[in-house]
Amino acid sequence: MKTKMKKVIFIGGTSYSGSTFFDMILANDPRGFSCGEVHALFNPYRPHHINPLCGCADNRCQVWSRALKNGKKNLYSTIFKLFPEVRFIVDSSKNVFWIKSQTKHLLRNGIECRNVLIWKSPLELACSFRKRNQIGWEKEWLVYHRLYFKAVESWKAIRYRDFTMNKEVLKNVCAYLAIPYFPGKENYWEKKHHTLFGNASAKIHLYKKDSVGYKREGETFGKILGRSHSNIEETHKSIYYKPVDDQSLEDSVTQKIRLNIHLSEIMKLLNYRDISDRSSDGHTVEISKLRMPLILFKMRAGKGLFIRWLKKYKYRIMRYLKTT
Ligand SMILES: [Zn+2]
């Protein structure tokens, strides 16, 4: 397959949708580059976003300090310059306002953009939230998808479960994104990634057991999910899908779906937009009804901008103090 033209692939998805591992699998190619959740480098909103450690776990790595210095508008051109062999960059920042503004800038500069959305069903997402003792999966699922439908024009969806269980799906994803596929591409730990931030349970596979990176991600992963050390070791460097086995959670999610039509309508639409074109049911769903209304979209954009602005300066000051 030809990959002459440079392109940026934006991954969309709610929190805990599997975007970090999806990002690194797509970028597992000598011509690919995984950015991870790079928007947080420019808009830090958590303490660990200042002076971050690169996914390559090398303290001397200069990739992100250079990218930061050159600014967000030059982010992808900085990467293309630093890595001349790279033809496509995968960005799993997921933030819809980031995707929208970066796409606008890239298209103006003649760089192709592609969009793919990875999703978990309401039950799977509710389970991921429960594991982390978090509430609010329903709001996250509804708001994120409605914002995404408003912000992103052309996209295809991929269900997390299908992607982890069926290797053929990766082939279809590569064909849609017009990037090369090869057997074994899913073993993303075979490549050195500079991926920034993202999910510890996906990043732990990058590191050898007993390395600093493995220990760091394992501590985060174990602490958050309550996973034991042997459990983490067993699944190291493997891709697996764990079905939800919790009847009370299933009952509560089914009840919520019954009460909120938007949940099932979004699910139909995501199936309809699936990369493998497996369902025709969603054509009855009007996407315009599911898109976040413009006024609410702008309000969220404004609120997000204000919060990002506040946090950006707070963390910039922290970054400055740390380096002086
Ligand atoms: Zn690095």
The secondary structure of 61-117 as a DSSP string is --HHHHHHHH-GGGHHHHHHHH-TT--EEEE----HHHHHHHHHHHHHTT-EEEEEE
CA dihedral 62, 237, 185, 9 (to 10 degrees): -50
Domain, as residue range, for 70: 7-322
- Whether the CB-CB separation of 125 and 16 falls below 8 Å is answered with yes
**Residues whose beta carbons lie less than 5 angstroms from ion ligand 1:** 54, 56, 61, 63, 194
Q: How far is the CA of 194 from the centre of ligand 1 (A)?
A: 4
pTM as predicted:
0.87
Q: How far is the CA of 55 from the centre of ligand 1 (A)?
A: 6
Q: How many separate domains does the chain show? A: 1
We report the CATH number of the domain holding residue 114 as 3.40.50
- How far apart, in whole angstroms, are the C-alpha atoms of residue 287 and residue 150? 9
**Which distant-in-sequence residues (6+ apart) come within 8 Å of 294 by Cβ?**
150
pLDDT tens digit at each of 324 positions of the chain: 444 589 999 999 999 999 999 999 999 999 999 999 999 998 888 777 887 889 888 889 999 999 999 999 999 999 999 999 999 999 999 999 999 999 999 999 999 999 999 999 999 999 999 988 889 999 999 999 999 999 998 999 999 999 988 888 999 999 999 999 999 999 988 899 999 988 877 777 777 777 777 776 766 655 555 555 555 566 666 677 788 888 999 999 999 999 998 999 999 999 999 988 666 666 677 788 888 888 888 888 888 777 777 777 777 777 777 666
Instruction: Report if residue 11 sits inside a domain.
Output: yes
How deeply is 147 buried, as exposed, middle or buried, from its count of CB atoms within 10 A (0-12, 13-18, 19+)? Answer: buried
Type of residue at 198: G
Instruction: Report if residue 1 sits inside a domain.
Output: no
Q: How far is the CA of 61 from the centre of ligand 1 (A)?
A: 5
Instruction: Report if residue 2 sits inside a domain.
Output: no
Q: How far is the CA of 59 from the centre of ligand 1 (A)?
A: 8
3-state class (DSSP) for residue 58: coil
